[in-house]
Amino acid sequence: MTEKIGVYVCHCGTNIAGIVDVEDVAKWAAEKLQRRGVVIARDYKFMCSSLGQELIEKDIKELGLTRVVVAACSPHLHEKTFRNACKNAGLNPYLCELVSIREQVSWVHTDKVVATEKSKAIVSGGVERVIWHEPLEPLRVPIHPATLVVGGGIAGIQAALEIADAGYHVYMVEREPSIGGHMAQFDKTFPTLDCSACILTPKMVDVGNHPNITLLTWAEVTNVDGYVGNFQATIRQKARCVNTELCTGCGICWEKCPKKVIDDVFEAGLGKRKAIYTPFPQAVPRYPVLDKANCTYFLKGTCKACEKFCPTGAIDFTQQDEFLQIDVGQIILATGWDLFDVRRMPQYGYGRLANVFTSLEFERLSNASGPTGGKIVLRDGVTPPASVAIVHCVGSRDKNYNPYCSSICCMQSLKFAHLVHERTGAEVYNCYIDIRTPSKGYEEFYQRLLEEGTHFIRGKVAEVTNAYRTPEEEGKLIVQVEDTLIGKQRRIPVDMVILSAGLEPRHDAKEVGRLFGISCSADGWYIERHPKLDPVATMTDGVYIAGVVQGPKDIPASVAQGAAAAARALGKIQQKEVAMEPIRATINEDKCSGCRMCNTLCPFNAILFHEDKMVSEVNPALCQGCGTCVAACPAGAISGTGFSNEQILAQLDGLLLLNIKRLEEIPA
Amino acid sequence: MKEYVYFPGCSLEKIAISYHLSAVETTQKLGIKLTELEDWNCCGATAYFHVDELLAYTLTARNLAMAEKIGSEIVAPCSACYKNMYFTNVHLNEDPDLAEHINEALQEDNLSFSGKMVVKHLIEVFSNDVSSEEIKSKVIYPLSGLRVATYYGCQILRPKKDHEDVEQPHYFEDLMSAIGATPVDFPLKLTCCGGSLLISSRPAAYSMIHNLLYDAQRAQADVIATACPLCQVNLECYQQQVNQEFGTHFAIPVVYFTQLIGLSMGIPPKKLGFGKEFLSPKKAIDAIKNIKSQEEVITQ
Amino acid sequence: MAPKPSFGDEVANLLHAAEGNPLRTCIQCGTCSGSCPVVKFMDQTPRRIIGMINAGLKDEVLKTNTFWYCASCYQCTVRCPSGIDIAEAMYALKRYTMWKNQYKEGLIGPTFSETFVKTIVRSGRSYEPLLAPTYIFSYGIREFFSEALNATNLMLKGRIPILPPRIKRLENFRRMIAHIIPIGGVE
Q: What is the mean pLDDT of residues B182-189?
A: 94
Q: What is the pLDDT of residues A315-358, one digit of tens each?
A: 999 999 999 999 999 999 999 999 999 999 999 999 999 999 99
Element at A445 (helix H, strand E):
helix A442-451
Report in angstroms the alpha-carbon separations of A302 from A256, A298, A307, A444, A495.
14, 8, 11, 58, 44
Question: CA A168, CA A239: separation in Å to the nearest integer?
Answer: 28
Q: What is the pLDDT of residues B32-77, one digit of tens each?
A: 999 999 999 999 888 888 988 888 999 999 999 999 999 999 999 9
Q: Do B187 and A465 touch (CB under 8 A)?
A: yes
In a domain, B131, yes or no: no
Supply angle C-alpha A443, A448, A413, rounded to 5: 70
Higher pLDDT, A221 or C184: A221
User: Which pLDDT score, from 0 to 100, does residue B295 have?
Assistant: 45
Q: Do C81 and A460 touch (CB under 8 A)?
A: yes
Rounded to the nearest angstrom, the minimum Cα separation between B18 and chain C is: 9
CATH (residue range C7-100): 1.10.1060.10
- How would you classify the pairing of strands A213-217 and A67-72? unpaired
Contacts of A347 in chain B (CB under 8 A): 167
* Shared domain check, B283 and B156: yes
3-state secondary structure of A499: strand
* Shared domain check, B106 and B70: yes
Q: Which of A304, A311, A320, A309 is nearest to A248 (CA)?
A: A311
User: Which pLDDT score, from 0 to 100, does residue C185 have?
Assistant: 46
Q: What is chain C's mean pLDDT, rounded?
A: 88
CB A192 within 8 A of CB A202: no
* Shared domain check, B107 and B65: yes
Q: What is the pLDDT of residues B212-245, one digit of tens each?
A: 999 999 999 999 999 999 999 999 999 999 999 9
User: Which pLDDT score, from 0 to 100, does residue B299 have?
Assistant: 46
* Shared domain check, B287 and B148: yes
Q: Which of A388, A625, A384 is nearest to A492 (CA)?
A: A388
Question: CA C21, CA B65: separation in Å to the nearest integer?
Answer: 30
Q: Is B97 exposed, middle or buried (0-12, 13-18, 19+ CB in 10 A)?
A: exposed
Taking 90 as the threshold, does the pLDDT of residue A2 lie above it? no
User: Which pLDDT score, from 0 to 100, does residue C161 have?
Assistant: 81
Q: Assess A346–B contact: CB distance below 8 Å, yes or no.
A: yes
Q: How many residues are present in chain A?
A: 668
Taking 50 as the threshold, does the pLDDT of residue A479 lie above it? yes
Report pTM: 0.86
Last residue of a domain, one of B123, B156, B184: B123
Which CATH superfamily hosts domain A339-504? FAD/NAD(P)-binding domain (3.50.50.60)
* Shared domain check, B282 and B193: yes
Q: Assess C126–A contact: CB distance below 8 Å, yes or no.
A: no
In a domain, B29, yes or no: yes
Question: CA A370, CA A185: separation in Å to the nearest integer?
Answer: 9
Taking 70 as the threshold, does the pLDDT of residue B296 lie above it? no
Q: Assess B290–A contact: CB distance below 8 Å, yes or no.
A: no
pLDDT band at C41 (very low <50, low <70, confident <90, very high): very high
Q: What is the pLDDT of residues A443-474, one digit of tens each?
A: 999 999 999 999 999 999 999 999 999 888 99
User: Which pLDDT score, from 0 to 100, does residue A37 have?
Assistant: 93
Domain ranges of chain A: 5-136+647-665, 139-181+212-238+322-336+507-579, 241-320, 339-504, 585-641
Q: Do B41 and C124 touch (CB under 8 A)?
A: yes
* Shared domain check, B249 and B185: yes
CATH (residue range A139-181+212-238+322-336+507-579): 3.50.50.60
In a domain, B132, yes or no: no
* Shared domain check, B193 and B81: no
Select from C28, C32, C34 the Cβ nearest to the Cβ of A461.
C34
Question: CA B216, CA A249: separation in Å to the nearest integer?
Answer: 57
- Give the CA radius of gyration of chain B: 19
pLDDT band at A12 (very low <50, low <70, confident <90, very high): very high
User: Which pLDDT score, from 0 to 100, does residue A87 have?
Assistant: 94
Q: Assess B247–A contact: CB distance below 8 Å, yes or no.
A: no
Residue span of the structural domain in which B215 resides: 139-291
What is the CATH topology of the domain spanning A5-136+647-665?
A: Rossmann fold (3.40.50)
CB A41 within 8 A of CB A76: no
In chain C, residues 4-33 whose CB comes closer than 8 Å to chain A: 21, 27-33
Amino acid identity of C22? Answer: P
Q: Assess C40–A contact: CB distance below 8 Å, yes or no.
A: yes
* Shared domain check, B8 and B116: yes
CB C159 within 8 A of CB B14: yes
Kindly state the DSSP code that residue A106 receives in the 8-state scheme.
Answer: I
Q: Assess B300–C contact: CB distance below 8 Å, yes or no.
A: no
Q: What is the mean pLDDT of residues A362-375?
A: 94
Give the list of residues 6+ apart from residue B264 with CB closer than 8 angstroms, or none.
B139, B140, B141, B142, B143, B179, B180, B181
Q: Do A347 and B167 touch (CB under 8 A)?
A: yes
Last residue of a domain, one of B96, B123, B150: B123
Contacts of C66 in chain B (CB under 8 A): none
Contacts of A433 in chain C (CB under 8 A): 27-30
Q: What is the pLDDT of residues C125-175, one digit of tens each?
A: 888 888 888 888 888 888 899 888 888 888 888 888 888 888 899 888 988
Supply angle C-alpha A175, A180, A183, rounded to 5: 120
Asked, colleague to colleague, whether A241-320 and A585-641 share their fold, the answer is yes
Q: What is chain C's percent helix, strand, coil content, to nearest 5?
A: 55, 0, 45
Element at B60 (helix H, strand E):
helix B53-70
Q: What is the pLDDT of residues C6-29, one digit of tens each?
A: 888 888 777 765 567 888 899 999
Return the bridge partners of A479, or none.
Answer: A464, A492
Question: CA B217, CA B42: separation in Å to the nearest integer?
Answer: 35
Q: What is the pLDDT of residues A487-498, one digit of tens each?
A: 999 999 999 999
Kindly state the DSSP code that residue A524 receives in the 8-state scheme.
Answer: S
Q: How many domains does chain B have?
A: 2
Amino acid identity of C104? Answer: K
- How would you classify the pairing of strands A477-483 and A488-494? antiparallel
Q: What is the pLDDT of residues A562-619, one digit of tens each?
A: 999 999 999 999 999 988 888 888 899 899 998 988 888 887 788 889 989 899 999 8
**How far from the centroid of its chain's Cα atoms is residue B54's Cα?**
26
In a domain, B73, yes or no: yes
